[in-house]
Amino acid sequence: MTQADSSCLLEVDGLTVQVATPVGARTVVDNLSFRLMRGKTLCIAGESGSGKSMTALALMQLLPRPMARVAGGSARLSGRDILSLSESEMQQVRGRHIGMIFQEPMTSLNPVLSIGRQLADAICAHESVSSGAMRKRAIELLDQVQVPEPARRLEQYPHELSGGLRQRVVIAIALAQNPEILIADEPTTALDVTVQAQILALIRKLQADRGISVIMITHDMGVVAEMADDVLVMQHGRMVEHNAVDAIFSTPGEEYTRRLLAAVPRLGEMKGTTLPKRVLKRQKKTPAAEPQTDRPLVEVEDLTVRFDIRGGFLQQPVRRVHAVEGISFSIKRGETLSLVGESGCGKSTTGKALLNLVSWQGDIRVDGRSTRGLRPAAMKPVLRDVQMVFQDPYASLDPRMRVGDLVAEPLVIHGLATGSELADRVAYLFRRVGLSPDQMRRYPHEFSGGQRQRICIARALSLSPKLIVADESVAALDVSVQAQVLDLLQDIQDETGISYLFISHDMAVVEQISHRVAVMYMGRFVEMGSRAQIFENPQHRYTRKLMEAVPVADPSRPRRAFIAKAEDLPSPIHALDYVPPKQVARDVGDGHLVWEEH
């Protein structure tokens, strides 16, 4: 490395990664070259399958062998090619020189080891440390990553922490050896917008304090704008474009980059409109159906869901989780009602209650029929009208079954089709969601994430339901695939008049797809109104907090200051005799409701 290159910390040249397939080796990273400068952040952006994560795993020599291997190239860290190191030599690089934050903190942490033990393993990986010094260092690390009550957290296990706290622990482990480089592989994809903002600000502060360089891998262009100094755009394993962040956003040089940016939902771009974005787009061609104003399809009154926590020798209830507390709402035919809020606020529990997947109190009526107290046999006709699409399509599909059989299964269970009629209906559903009937004999693992979500939608549509509960159904998808799935949902609504309960923490997506929005906090509604009322005139401080936390895909905007102390949501777990405070709804105009405690 020349004197002129002294500011370059990592130089990757011609990196090529191949994976073994039944028909031979397939190149998943193809002749990739880039430089990471000292103290800077390089964002690697692109869709799933573009080679982003494989690049990171190759740099860490963590590729799944023998299925994947580095087929060529070099990666020089301060002049030393780390791709040529032996495993024992590489162990001295991992942690000490390069730390890594993985996408899913729950799978990154050992569920049977305490947080303190896992931090201790990271601290002692390269040197012997006394137990007292090790505990002190562990507490310091947790405090640096803004974990409240760090000493107490050392005794806890991963499942006892929220997603945001688990991600902070993973960051603390990655920083334990004071690395020069931090690789963050989709570190905020599954996090709520407020927690995401805290994690991004935390990484920036740690970078400023320690002078480390960061490789941020993401498909979220808002995160790119928030974090990057330089951006490398990848597609199909190859570099499409590499430039400074301002240039990428203002004057993208390649069509693929322009498509990525165009697919990004931007908070506020719906200002001054009254209908969802995709309805407005379609009205230019054919008028879209408005939500019907007769009797609501779904009516929910005083819905309450609580879970007992049992303990002691006799496993008696000792505490109680107040998941949902006395909420009421309705959904019109052809309407999309969105539930928004942070993890643990009760959104998903509300959706599950509509399908009787959890025990609940109150009253739920679907198309005029009350589902309270219905046994599974009596609930079966209701489930023809109400179906659910879950967040993780891979976990929703039986990996042992062909996808055609998975889509056909509801029709078989309800006795609606057999033989050639069944095959024809399944083929129609595949075409309806943009898939080929030729793919019906494949298994779930043979599809991309977006294709698997389409299969889940086809399965949900098989019974011609009147309502679909979409629970974070696009949260883990790339922006372009996300836009395709949202378009598909809106197309189906336009043609069939189906209603959606759309559960999400992505405020920009919610703004584009919703007719009405309900904001949840700690199991209760704090605000409800039309899309325009909520996004253009938010009244509750929690709603405004959610809006402010959304990353904006505009690098010219000032980057948000570090959040001084990240506080977790209050716990929904209370003593058995706990009585929730009363709430009073206030109408601030035209059905725009704000709830206040009294």
pLDDT, mean over the chain? 86
Residue 375 structure tokens: 């046994």
Domain span at 494: 298-549+583-597
Per-residue pLDDT band at 465 (split at 50, 70, 90): very high
Classify residue 90: in a domain, yes or no.
Answer: no
Classify residue 58: in a domain, yes or no.
Answer: no
How do strand 181-185 and strand 98-101 relate by DSSP bridges?
A: parallel
Residue 20 structure tokens: 């073994």
3-class SS of residue 311: strand
Of 218-232, 343-357, 569-583, minimum mean pLDDT range: 569-583
Per-residue pLDDT band at 2 (split at 50, 70, 90): very low
Q: Answer yes or no: is pLDDT of 286 > 60.
A: no
Classify residue 95: in a domain, yes or no.
Answer: no
Answer yes or no: do 163 and 308 share one domain: no
> Which helix (H) or strand (E) segment is 489 a member of?
helix 479-496
HEC string for 543-580? HHHHHHHCCCCCCCCCCCCCCCCCCCCCCCEEECCCCC
- Separate counts of helices (H) and strands (E) for the chain: 22, 23
Of 225-239, 331-345, 445-459, minimum mean pLDDT range: 445-459
Q: Determine how many CB atoms are found less than 10 A away from the CB of residue 589.
A: 10
Answer yes or no: do 305 and 164 share one domain: no
Residue 42 structure tokens: 């390089």
Q: List pLDDT tens digits, range 423-437.
A: 999 999 999 888 889
Answer yes or no: do 303 and 156 share one domain: no
CB distance 265 to 509 below 8 Å: yes
Write down the pLDDT at residue 3. Answer: 42
Q: Answer yes or no: is pLDDT of 208 > 90.
A: no
Classify residue 249: in a domain, yes or no.
Answer: no
Answer yes or no: do 362 and 510 share one domain: yes
Looking at 125, 156, 178, which one is the last position of a domain?
178
The whole-number average pLDDT for the span 103-129 is: 85
Q: List pLDDT tens digits, range 164-195.
A: 778 889 888 988 888 999 999 888 766 777 77
Q: Please identify which residue in the block is written with the tokens 């107290």.
A: 373
Alpha carbon 397 to chain centroid distance?
A: 18
Q: List pLDDT tens digits, range 357-381.
A: 999 999 999 999 999 988 888 898 8
Please indicate whether residue 436 or residue 125 has the higher confidence score (pLDDT): 436
Q: CA angle 78-83-89, nearest 5°?
A: 80
Per-residue pLDDT band at 595 (split at 50, 70, 90): very high
Q: Answer yes or no: is pLDDT of 481 > 80.
A: no
Classify residue 507: in a domain, yes or no.
Answer: yes
Q: Which of 448, 94, 312 is nearest to 456 (CA)?
A: 448
Answer yes or no: do 173 and 308 share one domain: no
Write down the pLDDT at residue 280. Answer: 55
Classify residue 91: in a domain, yes or no.
Answer: no
> 111, exposed or middle or buried, with CB in 10 Å at 0-12, 13-18, 19+?
exposed
Please indicate whether residue 338 or residue 291 has the higher confidence score (pLDDT): 338
Write down the pLDDT at residue 233. Answer: 95
Per-residue pLDDT band at 561 (split at 50, 70, 90): low
Q: Checking phi first, is residue 473 left (phi over 0); if not, alpha (psi -120 to 50) or beta? A: alpha
CA distance 598 to 583: 6
Instruction: Say which residues have a Cβ less than 8 Å from residue 570's Cβ, sequence separation at least 6.
Output: 522
Answer yes or no: do 349 and 491 share one domain: yes
What domain count does the chain have? 2
Q: Answer yes or no: is pLDDT of 4 > 60.
A: no
C-alpha dihedral sign at 565, 569, 573, 578: positive
Looking at 153, 178, 203, which one is the last position of a domain?
178
Q: List pLDDT tens digits, range 535-547.
A: 999 999 999 988 8
How do strand 8-21 and strand 68-77 relate by DSSP bridges?
A: antiparallel
Q: Answer yes or no: is pLDDT of 562 > 50.
A: no
Answer yes or no: do 174 and 312 share one domain: no
Classify residue 325: in a domain, yes or no.
Answer: yes
Looking at 147, 178, 209, which one is the last position of a domain?
178
Q: Answer yes or no: is pLDDT of 594 > 60.
A: yes
Residue 1 structure tokens: 């490395």
Please indicate whether residue 509 or residue 198 has the higher confidence score (pLDDT): 509
3-class SS of residue 318: strand
Classify residue 59: in a domain, yes or no.
Answer: no
CA distance 70 to 207: 29
Per-residue pLDDT band at 281 (split at 50, 70, 90): low
Q: List pLDDT tens digits, range 45-94.
A: 988 778 898 999 999 999 988 888 999 999 999 889 999 999 999 998 99
Per-residue pLDDT band at 259 (split at 50, 70, 90): confident
Write down the pLDDT at residue 40. Answer: 94
CA-CA distances (angstroms) from residue 586 to 162, 512, 581? Answer: 32, 26, 16
Instruction: Say which residues have a Cβ less than 8 Å from residue 381's Cβ, sequence separation at least 6.
Output: none
> 134, exposed or middle or buried, with CB in 10 Å at 0-12, 13-18, 19+?
middle
The edge-to-edge listing of strands for the beta sheet with 68-77 is: 24-37, 8-21, 68-77, 80-81
